[in-house]
């Protein structure tokens, strides 16, 4: 009798946020305007605090203007927000401002309705969960910690942001894989962005594209929601068949 080999089981899932767990409009129409409106006064008030001061200095370094005035730094940050730039010090400062909004109940982190139950199911199955987003780790934790489904942070084993590397570069996924200590084929990356999925696949990861808004498809498996991701994982975890 010949037993066919089963596919490698998924032991870890790394998920994107915008367009994957969370409606992009929550970020573009709630979080970004909130930060843009409050960031200038926040910076002027807390510029001397070490964490804020370090990010302001990082902005000056990126501008190659070590003596740039505070107002020039604020102006640049607002321009980066307007043009949706993935700049690490901006993401860190936005996260600090959003903390006030979450804690004050000004808003809660949006999640698609299938996200929380599937995350809980995967964790119960022994799959480790991680986040990789262009938003700062602090912002990720705030969104899941103050989500419309409650505090989901206990479900996650770790978070990664652009300090790990650019999301469209394979080197970032290699660095994450090394931290997870798992073979690439046992890690599943979920995202709606083809270039990110391509980068993860280049490092050998399993990938799945979330098509919540009818995006164009590439070579990756496609799911409309996390329930379909669960079905795909379940099929991989089925025992080998004897023939």
Note down the domain range covering 90.
26-103
139 vs 172, higher pLDDT: 172
Q: Looking at the structure, do residues 118 and 77 belong to the same domain, yes or no?
A: no
Token couple for 147: 């989500």
Strands (E), 87-220: 128-132, 156-160, 187-191, 206-210
Q: Looking at the structure, do residues 61 and 114 belong to the same domain, yes or no?
A: no
What pLDDT, in 10s, does the model give residues 117-141? 999 999 999 999 999 998 889 999 9
Q: What CATH number should be reported for the domain holding residue 88?
A: 1.10.720.60
Return the SS3 of 118.
helix
Q: Looking at the structure, do residues 183 and 205 belong to the same domain, yes or no?
A: yes
Q: Looking at the structure, do residues 33 and 16 belong to the same domain, yes or no?
A: no
* DSSP assignment of 61-98: HHHT-TT--HHHHHHHHHHHHHTT---HHHHHHHHHHH
User: Domain tally for the chain?
Assistant: 2
Domain edge (last residue) among 43, 75, 103: 103
Rounded Cα–Cα distance for residues 132 and 116 (Å): 17
**What is the mean predicted confidence (pLDDT) over 209-227?**
88
Q: Looking at the structure, do residues 40 and 64 belong to the same domain, yes or no?
A: yes
Q: What CATH number should be reported for the domain holding residue 219?
A: 3.40.50.1000
Rounded Cα–Cα distance for residues 92 and 187 (Å): 27
What pLDDT, in 10s, does the model give residues 43-71? 999 999 999 999 999 999 999 999 999 99
Q: Which residues of 145-170 are buried (b: 16+ CB within 10 A; e: fewer)?
A: bbbebeebbeebeebbbbebbebbeb
Instruction: Say if 7 falls within a structural domain.
Output: no
Specify the pLDDT at position 14.
Answer: 98
């Amino acid at each position: 009798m010949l037993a066919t080999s089963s596919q490698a089981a998924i032991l870890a899932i790394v998920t994107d946020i915008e367009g994957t767990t969370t409606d992009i409009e929550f970020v573009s129409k709630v979080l970004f305007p909130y930060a843009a409106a409050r960031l200038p006064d926040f910076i002027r008030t807390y510029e001397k605090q070490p964490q804020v001061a370090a990010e302001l200095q990082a902005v000056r370094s990126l501008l190659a203007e070590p003596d740039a005035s505070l107002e020039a730094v604020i102006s640049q940050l607002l321009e980066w927000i307007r043009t949706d730039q993935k700049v690490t010090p901006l993401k860190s400062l936005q996260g600090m401002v959003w903390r006030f909004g979450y804690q004050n109940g000004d808003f809660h982190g949006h999640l698609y309705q299938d996200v929380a139950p599937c995350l809980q199911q995967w964790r119960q199955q022994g799959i480790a969960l991680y986040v990789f987003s262009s938003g700062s780790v602090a912002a990720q934790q705030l969104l899941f910690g103050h989500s419309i489904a409650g505090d989901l942070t206990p479900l996650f084993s770790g978070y990664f942001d652009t300090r790990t590397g650019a999301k469209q570069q394979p080197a970032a996924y290699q660095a994450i894989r090394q931290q997870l200590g798992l073979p690439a084929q046992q890690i599943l990356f979920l995202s709606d962005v083809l270039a990110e999925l391509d980068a993860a696949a280049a490092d050998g990861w399993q990938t799945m594209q979330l098509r919540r808004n009818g995006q164009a498809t590439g070579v990756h498996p496609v799911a409309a929601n996390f329930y379909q991701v669960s079905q795909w994982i379940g099929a991989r975890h089925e025992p080998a068949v004897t023939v």
